[in-house]
Structure 1
Amino acid sequence: MSTQARLADTDIGNSPEVSMKKLGTLVATAALASTSAFGVAVTAHAADGAGTAATTSGAPTASASLQQKLDWAVARANLPADLKAKVLELGKRLPANDEQRLQALGDRFGIGDTTWRELINNSINPGDYACATTPLTTWINGKVDEIDFYTYYLLYVMGGLDLPTYDALILGTESRANTFGVDGSYTNELTRTMKNLRSFWDVDGASIQLMPMKGKQSFADVDRMAYVLSVMYGDSPADEVSRAKLIRELVNSDPALRGGDHPLFTFNAFAFDPTGDAEAEELGLTKRIIMGDGIMEGMRAVGLDVTAPRSILSHEYGHQVQYAKNLFDSPLRGPEATRRTELMADALGTYFMTHKQGQAINDQKVLQNEQSFYNVGDCSFTSSGHHGTPNQRLASSTWAVGIVKAQANQGHTVGGSQFGAMFDAKLPQIVAPDAK
C-alpha cells in the first residue's frame, strides 16, 4: 500500500471497493468499483427498476449520486413515513461527495480493502466475477436476507455499516476488560494467541495492540458516534450529530439488526500501522489488530470456529510482520501486488499455527484452519482488492505447513524476512493456473 498509514486486512484482505470505510481528517481521493461477487441477496431484493444509474439487478450503480441511492432505497424500505422523511432531508444536507470522502479515507487506511468487507460489499453490489459458492458466502447472503435490505442499504450509503470499524480504530484501546465474540467466548483464546504471536515473530510485538470490534456499543452514545463520524468524514462532531441520531434510529428500526449486534456490522478484521502518518498519530492511532465479533460468529456458523479465530488473528499479525520487515515492497502492482501480500499473510499465519513454538495444531486442525482462508478466496482478478482464489489461498497455507514439517530442528523458527524471501520464490507456483 502506498499510503503512509497502513492497514491490511485479514485473510481477509482487500475488498473490491464499494465499501465506505473512511477516516475523514485524512481525506484523499478514491474511486468506487464493485467487482467480484456472489450477489444472491441483491438479486433477490433489488429486482425492480431504478432509473438511469441502475445495474441490471435494479440497484443504483456505484456512480449514481447519493440522492439517487437514497431515493431508491427510501422508496422501498420498510420504514415509518417520518423516518423516511428524515433520511431524505438529511440527504439534501449532505455534500455531493459524501461517499467519496469516506471511501478516500478507507482507501488511504486500507479498511475498505479487507476480504471480510469484500464479502459484505458483494452481497450489496454484485459485480462481474464470481467464485464457487463456499459455506461462508452462503451464510453471509443468508444474514442479509434476515433483515430489511433497503434499511441495510441506507446504513451502507450513510456510513452506518462502517461506524463499528472506525469506532474500534479511532477509540479502541487494549485492555484486560476487552472481550472477543458477542458472548465473550473467544476472549481467552485470542488473548493467549496474541501473547504467543508477540514472542514468536522477530518484530516488536509489544508495540502491537489487540482490540475487539463491537456492534451494539458502537451505536449506544450519540456524542461518541458523532465524533467517530467527524473523523470519518473530515468535519466537526457538531456537523455529524444529525447523522448519528438518524443512523441509530435506523439501526433500531429493524429488530433483526439486534441494535447493532447483527454480525454484518462487525464482519471485519484488519491490521493497522500508522507509522509515518502524522495525522494518524495525532489521532492517537497505534499499531493494532482489530477483530470483529461478526467474523467469529460466521466461522462458528460454518463449523470452523475451532481454529479460525486464531488463524485470522495469525494472518493479521502476519501483516504486522510484513510492515515491520518491509515485505509489502515488490515489483508487482495492482491486483497482483495485493494478492501477493494476502497470500503471504496466509502463509505467515499458517506457519505460526502449525509450528511447535506457535500453536502446534495437528494436521486435522490444520486442514480446518486452511478452510477458513479458502472460504474467503475471491476471483476478482481485475480488482485492486484481489486476495487470491480459494485454491491459491489453500495452496499458500499448504506450502507453509510443508515448511514446518521439512525443518530438521522443529524448535527453530524462520524469521520474517527469510520467510518472505522463501515465499516469493514459491509464489509463481502458488498462483499458476489450476483450471482442469
Structure 2
Amino acid sequence: MSLIADLPTPALAALRISVQARLDAFRAEGLKLDMTRGKPAPDQLDLSNALLALPGNGDYFSAAGEDARNYGNLQGLKEARALFAPILGAPPEDVVVGDNSSLALMHDCIVYALLKGVPGSPRPWSKEASPAFICPAPGYDRHFAILEEFGVRMLPVAMSGHGPDMDAVEALAADPSVKGMWCVPKYSNPTGEIYSPETVARLAAMEAGAPDFRLFWDDAYSVHHLTELRHEVSNILEACERADHKDRTFVFASTSKITLAGAGLAFFASSPANVRWYLACASKRSIGPDKLNQLRHVRFLRDVAGVHRHMDAHRALIAPKFAAVIKALQRHLAGTGAARWTAPEGGYFISVEAAPGTAARVVELAKSAGVALTPAGATWPYGNDPNDSNLRLAPTFPSLAEVRDASEGIALCILLAAIEAQSVQRADSAA
C-alpha cells in the first residue's frame, strides 16, 4: 500500500470509503473484546494452580524452623529471599519479601520518603518546595498516578530505543528539586525496550542535584521473555556501588505475572542502609508478611531454573498472541505511514505510534467497533500525550482467537483515523 500522504485526493477518498466499509463489517459482528490492561489469561494462571495445595502435609515450617502461620519476620523467609535474590541482582540479606503487590511497595516508598525522607535526606521530601520525578514516556500509568496523587511534579523524558534519553535525564537530575526517576529497565512498559549497558552506567554515575536522589527500578518483566533469548540488563546495584552512589537505587519486582497475579510475592532490594530504612518504616505498618505464601512459592518454583521453566510455559501461551497483533498491523498498515509499532522480545505490551493527533480518535473508533483499548494519553504523565499518538496494546488476557479478531479491528481503526486526519489536513490547506 502507498503512503497515505502521497495518494492523490481522489484515491485517498476511495481508500477512506473502502476502509470505512471494512470497519463497518467488523462492527457488525458485534464483538466485545478487551485489550486495555496487561493481565495474565486464565490459562496462564492455571500454570500455578499447584500453589493452592501448598504447603502440604501440615509442614508449615521454614528451613530455619519458623512457623510460617504466625507473626514476625518482616524481611521475609531466608529461602524466599535466596530464591529471588539472583533475579533481583542483590544478596539475600539485602532483599525484602512483601505481599502480593510491588506497586504497593513503590507507593509506600514514595509515602515514606515524603513523610520521613530517605537515607541522606536533609529533610522529608514533602518539606521541599516542589519535589519532582523524572518520568520516561511513554511509560506506566500507575507510576504516574502515584506521583499525581501526592502532588509530585512529573518531568517527562523521551525513550531512545535503549532506555531514556540520557542527555535529558542528566540535565534534569542536576536540579536539586528532582528527587527520583521511574525506570522499567527490561521490556519497558509499554515500549518493550531494554536499557543498554551505557544507559545503566550513566544512570548510576550521573551527578544528581539532590543528595537523596533515588532510582525507582521497577524490574517488573525481568524473566518475562517472548523469545528463547533471555536478555540481561546490567546490574544497577553493582553499577551504583562502583560509582560511589550505593544508596541510589530501590529495586522492585514481583511474581504477579509469574504465578498468581492476585496472590504472588513482591520484592524490594537495595543497599543495606536503604533496606534498614524500609524495614524501620514498614515495621509501623505490619507485623509481618504472608510467610505461608512465601513457602508455597519456594516449594513450587524451587530454584531460578524452575522460574525459567515456568516462564517458558507462559511464553508458549502468550507469544502467539503478540505475533498475531504484529501480523495484523503489518498486513493493514505496512507502507501506509499510518503508524509504527514495536515488536517486543519480552514484557506485556505492544506500543503503537499512530499518526499525530489520532490516538484518541483510534480509541473512539475501536470502542464503537467493540474493542476496548487503554485510554489515549494514559502512557504519559497527567494523561497528556503531547502528540496524541501513543497506543498501548495489551494482548495477554484475551484468547488467541479474540486477539486475532481485535487486532484486525484495531488496525482498521488506526488506518481510518490516519486517512481522516490526512483528509482534514488537505481540506484545511485548500481553504
Same fold at TM > 0.5 = no
**Richer in strand (by share):** 2
Choose 1 or 2 for highest CA Rg.
2
Higher RCO structure, 1 or 2 (CA under 8 Å, sep 6+)? 2
Please, what TM-score do these two structures have when normalized by structure 2?
0.28
**Richer in helix (by share):** 1
Please, what TM-score do these two structures have when normalized by structure 1?
0.27
